[in-house]
Amino acid sequence: MLDQDWETLAELARSAGRPASMQGPEALAGPVGRLHALHRIMQAATRSLNLDEMLTTVVRVLRQTVDVDVCSIFLYDQATGTLTLRATDGINPHPPGSVTLPLGVGITGQAAVTQQVLVAADAPNHPAYLDYPHVNNRPFASQVSVPLTARAPGGLLGVLNLMSLERREFTPEELSFLETAAGEISIALENAQLYRQTDEELRRRIAQLELLQQLWRAIASTLDLQQLLELISTKAIALANAQAVVIYRRPRSRPAELELLAQSPEVAGVGAPLDEALRAVVARVLDEGRAIWQRLEGSGAAVYSLPMITGRRAVGAVCLLFPLDAEEPSQPQLLHAFTDTAAIAIENAELYDEARRGLSRASALLRELHHRVRNNLQTVAALLSLQARRAAPEVREPLQEAVSRIRSLTIVHDLLSGHDLEGTSIEALARTVTTEVVHTLCGDEPRIQWSVSGDEVVVSARQATILALLLNEFVTNAIRHGFNEGEKGTVAVRCRREGNWAVLEVEDTGHGLPPSFDLRTSRGLGLQIARTLTEVDLRGQLAIMSSDAGTTVRIRFIPDAPVPAAGEGASADPARA
Protein backbone atom coordinates (compact mmCIF):
# COMPACT_ATOMS: atom_id res chain seq x y z
CA MET A 1 0.00 0.00 0.00
CA LEU A 2 1.00 3.60 -0.37
CA ASP A 3 2.43 5.57 2.53
CA GLN A 4 -0.81 7.50 3.00
CA ASP A 5 -2.49 4.18 3.86
CA TRP A 6 -0.38 3.83 6.99
CA GLU A 7 -3.15 5.13 9.27
CA THR A 8 -5.55 2.53 7.85
CA LEU A 9 -3.05 -0.28 8.54
CA ALA A 10 -2.44 1.01 12.05
CA GLU A 11 -6.15 1.03 12.77
CA LEU A 12 -6.44 -2.57 11.51
CA ALA A 13 -3.61 -3.58 13.80
CA ARG A 14 -5.30 -1.97 16.80
CA SER A 15 -8.58 -3.70 16.00
CA ALA A 16 -6.71 -7.02 15.97
CA GLY A 17 -5.43 -6.27 19.45
CA ARG A 18 -1.82 -5.91 18.35
CA PRO A 19 0.37 -2.88 19.12
CA ALA A 20 1.44 -0.73 16.16
CA SER A 21 4.43 1.57 16.47
CA MET A 22 4.23 4.82 14.55
CA GLN A 23 7.87 4.61 13.54
CA GLY A 24 7.23 3.12 10.09
CA PRO A 25 5.35 0.45 8.21
CA GLU A 26 8.13 -2.15 8.60
CA ALA A 27 7.47 -2.34 12.36
CA LEU A 28 3.97 -3.79 11.93
CA ALA A 29 3.54 -7.24 13.46
CA GLY A 30 1.19 -10.10 12.68
CA PRO A 31 -0.96 -10.62 9.56
CA VAL A 32 -1.26 -6.92 8.77
CA GLY A 33 2.50 -6.47 8.90
CA ARG A 34 3.06 -9.49 6.66
CA LEU A 35 0.38 -8.22 4.27
CA HIS A 36 2.12 -4.88 4.12
CA ALA A 37 5.49 -6.59 3.59
CA LEU A 38 4.10 -8.57 0.63
CA HIS A 39 2.82 -5.35 -0.83
CA ARG A 40 6.26 -3.77 -0.43
CA ILE A 41 7.85 -6.77 -2.13
CA MET A 42 5.39 -6.62 -5.04
CA GLN A 43 5.88 -2.88 -5.28
CA ALA A 44 9.68 -3.30 -5.45
CA ALA A 45 9.29 -6.01 -8.10
CA THR A 46 7.04 -3.95 -10.35
CA ARG A 47 8.53 -0.51 -9.80
CA SER A 48 11.91 -1.27 -11.35
CA LEU A 49 13.46 -4.02 -13.42
CA ASN A 50 16.84 -3.26 -11.89
CA LEU A 51 17.65 -6.58 -10.24
CA ASP A 52 20.05 -5.32 -7.56
CA GLU A 53 17.73 -2.52 -6.51
CA MET A 54 14.78 -4.90 -6.24
CA LEU A 55 16.68 -7.53 -4.21
CA THR A 56 18.06 -4.93 -1.79
CA THR A 57 14.56 -3.73 -0.99
CA VAL A 58 13.21 -7.29 -0.64
CA VAL A 59 15.82 -8.51 1.86
CA ARG A 60 15.41 -5.39 3.99
CA VAL A 61 11.61 -5.72 4.13
CA LEU A 62 11.72 -9.46 4.91
CA ARG A 63 14.32 -9.12 7.67
CA GLN A 64 12.30 -6.42 9.44
CA THR A 65 9.01 -8.27 8.96
CA VAL A 66 10.15 -11.69 10.25
CA ASP A 67 12.46 -10.06 12.80
CA VAL A 68 15.68 -12.00 12.07
CA ASP A 69 19.30 -10.91 12.20
CA VAL A 70 20.13 -11.57 8.55
CA CYS A 71 18.11 -11.98 5.37
CA SER A 72 19.97 -12.87 2.17
CA ILE A 73 19.27 -14.11 -1.34
CA PHE A 74 21.51 -16.46 -3.30
CA LEU A 75 21.02 -16.63 -7.09
CA TYR A 76 21.69 -19.75 -9.12
CA ASP A 77 24.11 -19.59 -12.09
CA GLN A 78 23.23 -22.43 -14.43
CA ALA A 79 26.46 -22.05 -16.43
CA THR A 80 28.68 -22.72 -13.39
CA GLY A 81 26.21 -24.71 -11.25
CA THR A 82 26.81 -22.49 -8.21
CA LEU A 83 24.85 -20.28 -5.84
CA THR A 84 26.19 -16.74 -5.35
CA LEU A 85 25.24 -14.29 -2.59
CA ARG A 86 23.53 -11.45 -4.45
CA ALA A 87 21.79 -9.39 -1.72
CA THR A 88 21.96 -9.30 2.09
CA ASP A 89 20.62 -7.18 4.94
CA GLY A 90 21.46 -7.32 8.64
CA ILE A 91 24.58 -7.99 10.65
CA ASN A 92 26.15 -10.37 8.10
CA PRO A 93 29.57 -8.89 7.29
CA HIS A 94 29.82 -10.60 3.92
CA PRO A 95 29.07 -8.27 0.98
CA PRO A 96 27.14 -9.47 -2.12
CA GLY A 97 29.23 -11.62 -4.43
CA SER A 98 31.70 -12.66 -1.72
CA VAL A 99 30.09 -16.05 -0.92
CA THR A 100 29.68 -18.82 -3.51
CA LEU A 101 28.25 -22.28 -2.83
CA PRO A 102 28.10 -25.37 -5.03
CA LEU A 103 24.72 -27.07 -5.29
CA GLY A 104 24.05 -29.43 -2.34
CA VAL A 105 26.58 -27.77 -0.03
CA GLY A 106 25.22 -26.45 3.27
CA ILE A 107 21.61 -25.95 4.27
CA THR A 108 21.31 -23.41 1.44
CA GLY A 109 22.64 -25.87 -1.14
CA GLN A 110 20.35 -28.65 0.14
CA ALA A 111 17.29 -26.43 -0.19
CA ALA A 112 18.33 -25.66 -3.76
CA VAL A 113 18.78 -29.33 -4.69
CA THR A 114 15.59 -30.59 -3.04
CA GLN A 115 13.63 -27.42 -3.89
CA GLN A 116 11.98 -27.80 -0.48
CA VAL A 117 11.85 -25.37 2.45
CA LEU A 118 14.47 -26.36 5.03
CA VAL A 119 13.95 -25.17 8.63
CA ALA A 120 16.89 -25.60 10.99
CA ALA A 121 15.96 -24.32 14.46
CA ASP A 122 19.29 -25.74 15.68
CA ALA A 123 21.38 -24.95 12.60
CA PRO A 124 24.87 -25.99 13.88
CA ASN A 125 23.59 -29.52 14.51
CA HIS A 126 21.86 -29.87 11.15
CA PRO A 127 23.45 -32.61 8.95
CA ALA A 128 23.97 -30.17 6.09
CA TYR A 129 25.29 -27.35 8.26
CA LEU A 130 28.19 -25.40 6.78
CA ASP A 131 30.39 -23.44 9.16
CA TYR A 132 29.68 -19.99 7.71
CA PRO A 133 29.26 -17.15 8.39
CA HIS A 134 29.99 -16.02 11.97
CA VAL A 135 29.45 -12.75 13.76
CA ASN A 136 32.15 -12.06 16.34
CA ASN A 137 33.07 -15.78 16.27
CA ARG A 138 29.45 -16.66 17.05
CA PRO A 139 27.58 -18.91 14.58
CA PHE A 140 23.99 -18.38 13.61
CA ALA A 141 21.69 -20.51 15.71
CA SER A 142 18.64 -20.84 13.44
CA GLN A 143 18.19 -20.77 9.69
CA VAL A 144 15.34 -21.04 7.19
CA SER A 145 16.18 -21.64 3.49
CA VAL A 146 13.37 -21.22 0.96
CA PRO A 147 14.05 -22.19 -2.68
CA LEU A 148 13.19 -19.67 -5.40
CA THR A 149 11.82 -21.62 -8.35
CA ALA A 150 10.73 -20.66 -11.84
CA ARG A 151 7.27 -21.33 -13.22
CA ALA A 152 8.73 -23.97 -15.55
CA PRO A 153 9.04 -27.37 -13.81
CA GLY A 154 12.43 -27.89 -12.20
CA GLY A 155 13.62 -24.34 -12.86
CA LEU A 156 15.82 -23.16 -9.99
CA LEU A 157 16.37 -19.43 -9.58
CA GLY A 158 18.02 -19.21 -6.16
CA VAL A 159 17.50 -19.52 -2.40
CA LEU A 160 16.07 -17.13 0.20
CA ASN A 161 17.85 -17.38 3.59
CA LEU A 162 16.80 -16.03 7.01
CA MET A 163 19.19 -16.43 9.98
CA SER A 164 19.03 -15.67 13.67
CA LEU A 165 21.82 -15.52 16.23
CA GLU A 166 19.42 -16.70 18.93
CA ARG A 167 17.64 -20.01 18.66
CA ARG A 168 14.04 -19.62 17.58
CA GLU A 169 11.15 -21.62 16.20
CA PHE A 170 9.47 -20.35 13.05
CA THR A 171 5.69 -20.57 13.16
CA PRO A 172 3.62 -22.12 10.37
CA GLU A 173 2.23 -18.66 9.59
CA GLU A 174 5.78 -17.27 9.16
CA LEU A 175 6.80 -20.18 6.93
CA SER A 176 3.65 -19.77 4.83
CA PHE A 177 4.41 -16.07 4.52
CA LEU A 178 8.00 -16.81 3.45
CA GLU A 179 6.80 -19.27 0.79
CA THR A 180 4.37 -16.66 -0.53
CA ALA A 181 7.11 -14.02 -0.52
CA ALA A 182 9.46 -16.45 -2.30
CA GLY A 183 6.84 -16.92 -5.01
CA GLU A 184 6.61 -13.17 -5.58
CA ILE A 185 10.41 -12.88 -5.60
CA SER A 186 10.65 -15.73 -8.13
CA ILE A 187 8.21 -13.96 -10.47
CA ALA A 188 10.23 -10.76 -10.14
CA LEU A 189 13.47 -12.64 -10.84
CA GLU A 190 12.02 -14.26 -13.95
CA ASN A 191 10.79 -10.88 -15.22
CA ALA A 192 14.18 -9.32 -14.54
CA GLN A 193 15.93 -12.16 -16.35
CA LEU A 194 13.57 -11.85 -19.32
CA TYR A 195 14.18 -8.12 -19.36
CA ARG A 196 17.94 -8.66 -19.25
CA GLN A 197 17.79 -11.23 -22.05
CA THR A 198 15.57 -8.96 -24.15
CA ASP A 199 17.86 -6.02 -23.47
CA GLU A 200 20.95 -8.06 -24.40
CA GLU A 201 19.27 -9.29 -27.58
CA LEU A 202 18.26 -5.75 -28.49
CA ARG A 203 21.80 -4.51 -27.89
CA ARG A 204 23.15 -7.36 -30.01
CA ARG A 205 20.77 -6.47 -32.83
CA ILE A 206 21.76 -2.81 -32.63
CA ALA A 207 25.44 -3.79 -32.69
CA GLN A 208 24.80 -5.96 -35.76
CA LEU A 209 23.01 -3.11 -37.54
CA GLU A 210 25.89 -0.80 -36.65
CA LEU A 211 28.30 -3.30 -38.20
CA LEU A 212 26.22 -3.35 -41.39
CA GLN A 213 26.18 0.43 -41.42
CA GLN A 214 29.96 0.51 -41.03
CA LEU A 215 30.31 -1.89 -43.94
CA TRP A 216 28.06 0.23 -46.14
CA ARG A 217 30.08 3.33 -45.26
CA ALA A 218 33.31 1.46 -46.01
CA ILE A 219 31.97 0.37 -49.40
CA ALA A 220 31.36 3.99 -50.28
CA SER A 221 34.83 5.03 -49.13
CA THR A 222 37.11 2.42 -50.69
CA LEU A 223 37.38 0.41 -53.89
CA ASP A 224 40.64 -1.30 -52.99
CA LEU A 225 39.88 -5.04 -53.16
CA GLN A 226 42.43 -6.19 -50.57
CA GLN A 227 41.42 -3.57 -48.03
CA LEU A 228 37.76 -4.40 -48.64
CA LEU A 229 38.30 -8.13 -48.10
CA GLU A 230 40.05 -7.49 -44.78
CA LEU A 231 37.13 -5.33 -43.69
CA ILE A 232 34.54 -7.93 -44.76
CA SER A 233 36.40 -10.70 -42.92
CA THR A 234 36.64 -8.70 -39.69
CA LYS A 235 33.00 -7.58 -39.73
CA ALA A 236 31.69 -11.05 -40.63
CA ILE A 237 33.39 -12.61 -37.58
CA ALA A 238 32.03 -9.85 -35.31
CA LEU A 239 28.51 -10.03 -36.76
CA ALA A 240 28.15 -13.82 -36.45
CA ASN A 241 30.33 -14.24 -33.35
CA ALA A 242 32.30 -16.80 -35.36
CA GLN A 243 35.84 -18.07 -34.82
CA ALA A 244 37.14 -17.53 -38.35
CA VAL A 245 36.06 -16.80 -41.91
CA VAL A 246 37.05 -17.99 -45.37
CA ILE A 247 35.86 -16.25 -48.56
CA TYR A 248 35.75 -17.93 -51.98
CA ARG A 249 35.06 -16.35 -55.37
CA ARG A 250 33.79 -17.82 -58.61
CA PRO A 251 35.69 -15.97 -61.40
CA ARG A 252 33.58 -14.79 -64.32
CA SER A 253 36.15 -16.07 -66.78
CA ARG A 254 36.26 -19.53 -65.11
CA PRO A 255 32.80 -20.19 -63.62
CA ALA A 256 33.58 -23.84 -62.94
CA GLU A 257 36.44 -22.98 -60.53
CA LEU A 258 36.61 -21.54 -57.02
CA GLU A 259 39.26 -19.00 -56.07
CA LEU A 260 40.31 -18.37 -52.45
CA LEU A 261 39.91 -14.63 -51.85
CA ALA A 262 40.59 -14.25 -48.12
CA GLN A 263 40.89 -16.26 -44.92
CA SER A 264 41.45 -15.57 -41.24
CA PRO A 265 44.96 -16.11 -39.87
CA GLU A 266 43.54 -18.82 -37.57
CA VAL A 267 42.79 -21.11 -40.54
CA ALA A 268 45.65 -20.08 -42.82
CA GLY A 269 47.79 -23.02 -41.72
CA VAL A 270 45.09 -25.67 -41.31
CA GLY A 271 45.87 -27.29 -44.65
CA ALA A 272 44.18 -29.02 -47.54
CA PRO A 273 41.52 -31.16 -45.72
CA LEU A 274 39.62 -28.14 -44.41
CA ASP A 275 39.98 -26.33 -47.75
CA GLU A 276 38.60 -29.33 -49.63
CA ALA A 277 35.67 -29.68 -47.22
CA LEU A 278 34.85 -25.98 -47.48
CA ARG A 279 35.05 -26.02 -51.28
CA ALA A 280 32.56 -28.91 -51.35
CA VAL A 281 30.14 -26.93 -49.17
CA VAL A 282 30.61 -23.75 -51.22
CA ALA A 283 29.93 -25.64 -54.46
CA ARG A 284 26.56 -26.74 -53.05
CA VAL A 285 25.81 -23.24 -51.78
CA LEU A 286 26.46 -21.66 -55.19
CA ASP A 287 24.56 -24.37 -57.08
CA GLU A 288 21.52 -24.22 -54.78
CA GLY A 289 21.68 -20.47 -54.09
CA ARG A 290 21.05 -20.85 -50.34
CA ALA A 291 22.93 -20.91 -47.04
CA ILE A 292 24.10 -24.28 -45.65
CA TRP A 293 24.95 -25.24 -42.05
CA GLN A 294 27.17 -28.31 -41.82
CA ARG A 295 29.39 -29.93 -39.20
CA LEU A 296 32.75 -30.95 -40.64
CA GLU A 297 33.53 -33.89 -38.39
CA GLY A 298 36.93 -34.58 -39.94
CA SER A 299 38.04 -30.96 -39.53
CA GLY A 300 36.68 -30.42 -36.02
CA ALA A 301 34.63 -27.38 -37.01
CA ALA A 302 31.14 -26.37 -38.08
CA VAL A 303 30.61 -24.08 -41.07
CA TYR A 304 27.79 -21.74 -42.00
CA SER A 305 28.27 -20.88 -45.67
CA LEU A 306 26.25 -18.10 -47.32
CA PRO A 307 26.21 -17.13 -51.01
CA MET A 308 27.29 -13.63 -52.02
CA ILE A 309 24.69 -12.64 -54.60
CA THR A 310 24.49 -9.47 -56.66
CA GLY A 311 21.69 -8.49 -59.00
CA ARG A 312 23.37 -10.42 -61.81
CA ARG A 313 25.11 -13.46 -60.36
CA ALA A 314 26.58 -15.25 -57.34
CA VAL A 315 30.11 -13.89 -57.07
CA GLY A 316 31.19 -16.30 -54.32
CA ALA A 317 30.49 -17.46 -50.78
CA VAL A 318 31.41 -16.55 -47.20
CA CYS A 319 32.23 -19.48 -44.89
CA LEU A 320 31.84 -18.73 -41.16
CA LEU A 321 33.61 -21.26 -38.94
CA PHE A 322 32.35 -22.23 -35.45
CA PRO A 323 33.24 -24.88 -32.84
CA LEU A 324 31.99 -28.33 -33.75
CA ASP A 325 29.37 -28.31 -30.97
CA ALA A 326 28.04 -24.81 -31.79
CA GLU A 327 24.44 -24.16 -32.79
CA GLU A 328 23.38 -22.80 -36.17
CA PRO A 329 23.21 -18.94 -36.20
CA SER A 330 19.74 -17.82 -35.16
CA GLN A 331 19.61 -14.57 -37.18
CA PRO A 332 20.37 -15.49 -40.79
CA GLN A 333 18.58 -12.43 -42.22
CA LEU A 334 21.28 -10.02 -41.05
CA LEU A 335 24.00 -12.35 -42.31
CA HIS A 336 22.32 -12.58 -45.72
CA ALA A 337 22.07 -8.77 -45.89
CA PHE A 338 25.75 -8.60 -44.95
CA THR A 339 26.92 -11.08 -47.59
CA ASP A 340 24.80 -9.49 -50.34
CA THR A 341 26.30 -6.11 -49.47
CA ALA A 342 29.77 -7.67 -49.46
CA ALA A 343 29.06 -9.18 -52.90
CA ILE A 344 28.20 -5.77 -54.34
CA ALA A 345 31.32 -4.28 -52.76
CA ILE A 346 33.60 -7.02 -54.16
CA GLU A 347 32.09 -6.77 -57.64
CA ASN A 348 32.43 -2.96 -57.62
CA ALA A 349 36.06 -3.28 -56.54
CA GLU A 350 36.73 -5.82 -59.31
CA LEU A 351 35.06 -3.62 -61.94
CA TYR A 352 37.03 -0.64 -60.69
CA ASP A 353 40.26 -2.63 -60.87
CA GLU A 354 39.46 -3.73 -64.43
CA ALA A 355 38.59 -0.16 -65.44
CA ARG A 356 41.82 1.11 -63.90
CA ARG A 357 43.87 -1.44 -65.82
CA GLY A 358 41.99 -0.55 -69.01
CA LEU A 359 42.61 3.15 -68.40
CA SER A 360 46.29 2.46 -67.85
CA ARG A 361 46.49 0.65 -71.19
CA ALA A 362 44.56 3.42 -72.96
CA SER A 363 46.75 6.09 -71.36
CA ALA A 364 49.91 4.35 -72.53
CA LEU A 365 48.53 4.09 -76.07
CA LEU A 366 47.44 7.73 -76.04
CA ARG A 367 50.84 8.88 -74.80
CA GLU A 368 52.45 6.94 -77.61
CA LEU A 369 50.01 8.60 -80.04
CA HIS A 370 50.87 12.07 -78.75
CA HIS A 371 54.56 11.22 -79.04
CA ARG A 372 54.19 10.14 -82.66
CA VAL A 373 52.09 13.23 -83.54
CA ARG A 374 54.74 15.44 -81.94
CA ASN A 375 57.49 13.80 -84.00
CA ASN A 376 55.47 14.25 -87.20
CA LEU A 377 54.79 17.91 -86.37
CA GLN A 378 58.50 18.49 -85.75
CA THR A 379 59.27 16.92 -89.09
CA VAL A 380 56.80 19.24 -90.84
CA ALA A 381 58.18 22.26 -88.96
CA ALA A 382 61.76 21.31 -89.95
CA LEU A 383 60.76 21.00 -93.64
CA LEU A 384 58.99 24.39 -93.56
CA SER A 385 62.01 25.99 -91.86
CA LEU A 386 64.27 24.57 -94.55
CA GLN A 387 61.92 25.92 -97.22
CA ALA A 388 61.77 29.34 -95.55
CA ARG A 389 65.56 29.71 -95.61
CA ARG A 390 65.56 29.12 -99.38
CA ALA A 391 62.37 31.09 -100.18
CA ALA A 392 62.06 34.62 -101.46
CA PRO A 393 61.76 37.38 -98.81
CA GLU A 394 58.07 37.97 -99.55
CA VAL A 395 57.10 34.38 -98.60
CA ARG A 396 59.67 33.80 -95.86
CA GLU A 397 57.64 35.52 -93.13
CA PRO A 398 54.41 33.51 -93.70
CA LEU A 399 56.46 30.30 -93.67
CA GLN A 400 58.12 31.28 -90.38
CA GLU A 401 54.69 32.03 -88.85
CA ALA A 402 53.49 28.60 -89.94
CA VAL A 403 56.58 27.01 -88.35
CA SER A 404 55.91 28.91 -85.11
CA ARG A 405 52.28 27.70 -84.98
CA ILE A 406 53.31 24.11 -85.62
CA ARG A 407 55.92 24.24 -82.87
CA SER A 408 53.23 25.54 -80.51
CA LEU A 409 51.22 22.41 -81.24
CA THR A 410 54.22 20.20 -80.57
CA ILE A 411 54.52 21.83 -77.14
CA VAL A 412 50.99 20.64 -76.25
CA HIS A 413 51.79 17.10 -77.33
CA ASP A 414 55.02 17.24 -75.33
CA LEU A 415 53.06 18.16 -72.19
CA LEU A 416 50.35 15.56 -72.76
CA SER A 417 52.71 12.71 -73.56
CA GLY A 418 54.71 13.29 -70.39
CA HIS A 419 51.99 14.25 -67.89
CA ASP A 420 48.31 13.75 -67.09
CA LEU A 421 46.40 13.03 -70.28
CA GLU A 422 43.26 14.61 -68.89
CA GLY A 423 44.74 18.11 -69.09
CA THR A 424 47.51 20.52 -68.17
CA SER A 425 47.89 23.84 -66.40
CA ILE A 426 47.83 27.14 -68.31
CA GLU A 427 50.95 28.30 -66.44
CA ALA A 428 53.06 25.34 -67.66
CA LEU A 429 51.71 25.75 -71.18
CA ALA A 430 52.33 29.52 -71.27
CA ARG A 431 55.86 29.18 -69.91
CA THR A 432 56.83 26.65 -72.59
CA VAL A 433 55.16 28.50 -75.52
CA THR A 434 56.60 31.88 -74.52
CA THR A 435 60.10 30.42 -74.18
CA GLU A 436 59.86 28.89 -77.65
CA VAL A 437 58.54 32.07 -79.34
CA VAL A 438 61.07 34.42 -77.70
CA HIS A 439 63.95 32.11 -78.61
CA THR A 440 62.71 31.76 -82.20
CA LEU A 441 62.28 35.51 -82.78
CA CYS A 442 65.10 36.92 -80.68
CA GLY A 443 67.63 34.11 -80.57
CA ASP A 444 70.14 34.45 -77.75
CA GLU A 445 69.78 38.25 -77.66
CA PRO A 446 68.24 39.14 -74.25
CA ARG A 447 66.39 42.26 -75.42
CA ILE A 448 62.92 40.95 -74.54
CA GLN A 449 62.27 40.12 -70.90
CA TRP A 450 59.26 37.90 -70.29
CA SER A 451 57.37 36.48 -67.31
CA VAL A 452 54.50 34.08 -66.60
CA SER A 453 52.40 34.34 -63.41
CA GLY A 454 48.91 33.87 -61.99
CA ASP A 455 46.53 31.29 -60.52
CA GLU A 456 46.71 27.55 -61.07
CA VAL A 457 44.10 26.79 -63.74
CA VAL A 458 43.87 23.35 -65.34
CA VAL A 459 42.42 22.96 -68.85
CA SER A 460 41.58 19.93 -70.96
CA ALA A 461 43.77 18.62 -73.77
CA ARG A 462 41.43 20.20 -76.34
CA GLN A 463 41.57 23.63 -74.75
CA ALA A 464 45.34 23.34 -74.25
CA THR A 465 45.81 22.93 -78.02
CA ILE A 466 43.71 26.05 -78.71
CA LEU A 467 45.48 28.10 -76.03
CA ALA A 468 48.89 27.10 -77.40
CA LEU A 469 47.96 28.55 -80.81
CA LEU A 470 46.54 31.72 -79.21
CA LEU A 471 49.57 32.28 -76.98
CA ASN A 472 51.90 31.76 -79.93
CA GLU A 473 49.91 34.34 -81.90
CA PHE A 474 49.76 36.94 -79.10
CA VAL A 475 53.41 36.69 -78.02
CA THR A 476 54.61 36.69 -81.65
CA ASN A 477 52.56 39.84 -82.44
CA ALA A 478 53.77 41.56 -79.26
CA ILE A 479 57.43 41.06 -80.20
CA ARG A 480 57.14 41.68 -83.94
CA HIS A 481 54.71 44.63 -83.97
CA GLY A 482 55.21 46.14 -80.50
CA PHE A 483 58.98 46.71 -80.67
CA ASN A 484 61.34 47.99 -83.35
CA GLU A 485 64.31 45.94 -84.49
CA GLY A 486 66.77 45.67 -81.59
CA GLU A 487 64.50 47.55 -79.18
CA LYS A 488 64.21 46.26 -75.60
CA GLY A 489 60.95 45.62 -73.73
CA THR A 490 58.93 43.19 -71.65
CA VAL A 491 56.15 40.69 -72.31
CA ALA A 492 54.05 39.42 -69.36
CA VAL A 493 51.62 36.51 -69.47
CA ARG A 494 49.10 36.33 -66.60
CA CYS A 495 46.28 33.95 -65.76
CA ARG A 496 43.65 34.40 -63.05
CA ARG A 497 40.25 33.16 -61.96
CA GLU A 498 37.07 35.21 -62.03
CA GLY A 499 34.37 32.97 -60.60
CA ASN A 500 33.81 30.12 -63.05
CA TRP A 501 35.81 31.94 -65.71
CA ALA A 502 39.52 31.82 -66.54
CA VAL A 503 41.16 35.02 -67.80
CA LEU A 504 44.40 34.90 -69.83
CA GLU A 505 46.26 38.14 -70.62
CA VAL A 506 49.36 38.89 -72.74
CA GLU A 507 50.70 42.38 -72.02
CA ASP A 508 53.68 44.13 -73.67
CA THR A 509 55.40 47.50 -73.13
CA GLY A 510 55.63 48.23 -76.83
CA HIS A 511 54.35 51.08 -79.03
CA GLY A 512 50.74 50.03 -79.01
CA LEU A 513 48.31 49.74 -81.92
CA PRO A 514 47.38 52.49 -84.37
CA PRO A 515 44.42 54.69 -83.30
CA SER A 516 42.43 53.42 -86.29
CA PHE A 517 42.71 49.76 -85.20
CA ASP A 518 39.37 47.93 -84.80
CA LEU A 519 39.29 44.28 -83.77
CA ARG A 520 35.97 43.62 -85.51
CA THR A 521 36.99 45.09 -88.88
CA SER A 522 40.60 43.93 -88.94
CA ARG A 523 41.29 41.46 -91.76
CA GLY A 524 44.68 40.23 -90.60
CA LEU A 525 44.99 36.45 -90.80
CA GLY A 526 46.42 36.17 -87.28
CA LEU A 527 43.59 38.13 -85.70
CA GLN A 528 40.97 36.21 -87.65
CA ILE A 529 42.49 32.97 -86.40
CA ALA A 530 42.54 34.33 -82.82
CA ARG A 531 38.89 35.44 -82.98
CA THR A 532 37.75 32.10 -84.37
CA LEU A 533 39.68 30.05 -81.84
CA THR A 534 38.45 32.19 -78.91
CA GLU A 535 34.78 32.67 -79.81
CA VAL A 536 34.03 29.41 -81.63
CA ASP A 537 36.37 26.81 -80.14
CA LEU A 538 36.72 28.19 -76.60
CA ARG A 539 33.26 29.80 -76.60
CA GLY A 540 34.90 32.74 -74.86
CA GLN A 541 35.51 36.47 -75.35
CA LEU A 542 38.47 38.28 -76.96
CA ALA A 543 39.46 41.89 -76.17
CA ILE A 544 42.47 44.03 -77.17
CA MET A 545 43.37 47.24 -75.28
CA SER A 546 46.17 49.55 -76.46
CA SER A 547 47.80 52.77 -75.25
CA ASP A 548 51.13 54.55 -75.30
CA ALA A 549 52.21 52.24 -72.46
CA GLY A 550 51.71 49.13 -74.55
CA THR A 551 49.10 46.57 -75.61
CA THR A 552 47.08 44.01 -73.63
CA VAL A 553 45.28 41.08 -75.23
CA ARG A 554 42.70 39.37 -73.00
CA ILE A 555 40.61 36.25 -73.45
CA ARG A 556 37.93 34.98 -71.05
CA PHE A 557 36.60 31.43 -71.17
CA ILE A 558 35.29 28.64 -68.98
CA PRO A 559 37.69 25.69 -68.60
CA ASP A 560 36.41 22.22 -69.32
CA ALA A 561 37.86 21.16 -65.94
CA PRO A 562 35.85 22.85 -63.09
CA VAL A 563 37.49 25.97 -61.68
CA PRO A 564 36.82 26.64 -57.96
CA ALA A 565 34.82 29.83 -57.54
CA ALA A 566 36.59 32.67 -55.75
CA GLY A 567 33.42 33.58 -53.87
CA GLU A 568 29.69 33.05 -53.64
CA GLY A 569 28.99 35.40 -56.49
CA ALA A 570 30.61 33.32 -59.23
CA SER A 571 29.37 34.46 -62.62
CA ALA A 572 27.45 32.14 -64.86
CA ASP A 573 28.46 31.15 -68.36
CA PRO A 574 26.54 33.41 -70.77
CA ALA A 575 27.69 31.38 -73.72
CA ARG A 576 25.92 28.30 -72.31
CA ALA A 577 22.85 30.03 -70.91
Tell me the pLDDT tens digit for each residue of 323-336: 988 888 876 777 77
Q: So what's the pLDDT on residue 1?
A: 37
Whole-angstrom distance, CA of residue 184 vs CA of residue 45: 8
Q: So what's the pLDDT on residue 14?
A: 40
Q: So what's the pLDDT on residue 505?
A: 94
Q: So what's the pLDDT on residue 495?
A: 93
In the structure, what pLDDT confidence band is assigned to residue 3 with cuts at 50, 70 and 90? very low
Q: What is the mean predicted confidence (pLDDT) over 475-485?
A: 85
Burial of 22 (0-12, 13-18, 19+ CB in 10 A): exposed
In the structure, what pLDDT confidence band is assigned to residue 451 with cuts at 50, 70 and 90? very high
422 vs 182, residue with greater confidence: 182
9 vs 439, residue with greater confidence: 439
Q: Is residue 330 helix, strand or coil? A: coil
Q: So what's the pLDDT on residue 23?
A: 39
Number of residues that make up the chain: 577
Range in 107-111, 131-135, 333-337 with the lowest mean pLDDT:
131-135
Q: Is residue 99 helix, strand or coil? A: coil
Q: Is the pLDDT of residue 6 over 60?
A: no
Q: Is the pLDDT of residue 205 over 90?
A: no
- List, in sequence order, every residue forming a beta bridge with 249; answer none if it has no partner: 259, 316
Any residues with CB less than 8 A from the CB of 321 and at least 6 apart, and which?
242, 243, 244, 245, 246, 264, 267, 301, 302, 303
Q: So what's the pLDDT on residue 20?
A: 36
Q: Is the pLDDT of residue 558 over 80?
A: yes
Burial of 265 (0-12, 13-18, 19+ CB in 10 A): exposed
Q: So what's the pLDDT on residue 61?
A: 84
Helix (H) or strand (E) holding 73: strand 70-77
Q: What is the DSSP pairing of strand 314-323 with strand 244-249?
A: antiparallel
φ/ψ (deg, to 5) at 414: -65, -45
| E strand residue ranges, 297-343 | 301-309, 314-323
| E strand residue ranges, 372-521 | 424-425, 448-454, 458-459, 489-498, 501-508
| Short-list 89, 99, 102, CA closest to 55 | 89
Average pLDDT score, the chain: 77
Residue 170 DSSP class: P
Q: Is the pLDDT of residue 9 over 50?
A: no
Q: What is the mean predicted confidence (pLDDT) over 146-172?
A: 86
Range in 13-22, 309-318, 459-468 with the lowest mean pLDDT:
13-22
Q: So what's the pLDDT on residue 269?
A: 59
Q: So what's the pLDDT on residue 496?
A: 92
In the structure, what pLDDT confidence band is assigned to residue 340 with cuts at 50, 70 and 90? confident
- 372 to each of 114, 409, 473, how far by Cα in Å? 97, 13, 25
157: left (phi over 0), alpha (psi -120 to 50) or beta: alpha
| Short-list 143, 161, 258, 189, CA closest to 41 | 189
Are 438 and 467 in contact by the 8 Å Cβ rule? The answer is no
Q: Is the pLDDT of residue 304 over 80?
A: yes
Q: So what's the pLDDT on residue 370?
A: 62
Q: What is the mean predicted confidence (pLDDT) over 284-293?
A: 87
Tell me the pLDDT tens digit for each residue of 429-444: 888 888 888 877 777 7
Tell me the pLDDT tens digit for each residue of 69-101: 888 889 888 878 888 888 888 876 677 767 888
Its sign, for the CA torsion 268, 273, 275, 281, is negative
Q: What is the mean predicted confidence (pLDDT) over 223-246?
A: 82
Q: What is the mean predicted confidence (pLDDT) over 462-480?
A: 85
Q: Is the pLDDT of residue 16 over 70?
A: no
The amino acid sitting at 27 is A
